[in-house]
A = this chain, B = another copy of it.
Amino acid sequence: MSLTYIQSFVAVAEEGHVGRAARKLHLTQPPLSRHILALEDELGTRLFERTPRGMKLLPAGEVFLSHARRILAEVDIAIERTKGPGTGGR
């Protein structure tokens, strides 16, 4: 599990498209595709249904998505709170 992979997952879930998400993340399609496969492998579950039009979130994917967003948000908060107030940031 890695924060990078979680970010990739969220981007693909939001775009419904590996290629499009890749551009958004300044990556190319193959590594992003592998991120999703790695996550699915680690979780032991398919997160997306592969359709000719792109990637469609499966129920397990929706569950993971909500947690993924929370995790990323927590990380942002942690960074902000730590570097910000107590340290003479602003």
Binding site for B on A (CB under 8 A): 1-4, 42-45, 47, 59-60, 63-64, 67-68, 70-71, 74-75, 77-79, 81-83, 86-87, 89
State whether A67 touches B74 (Cβ < 8 A).
yes
A43 to B74 CA separation, bound complex (whole angstroms): 15
For A68, the chain B residues whose CB sits under 8 A away are 78
CB of A21, distance to nearest CB on chain B (Å): 19
Interface centre among A4, A60, A77, A79 (most CB of B within 10 A): A60
Given A44-B89, A87-B45, A87-B60: A75 touches B71 (CB 8 Å cut-off) = yes
For A63, the chain B residues whose CB sits under 8 A away are 81-82, 86
CB of A36, distance to nearest CB on chain B (Å): 13
A42 to B63 CA separation, bound complex (whole angstroms): 30
A78 to B17 CA separation, bound complex (whole angstroms): 23
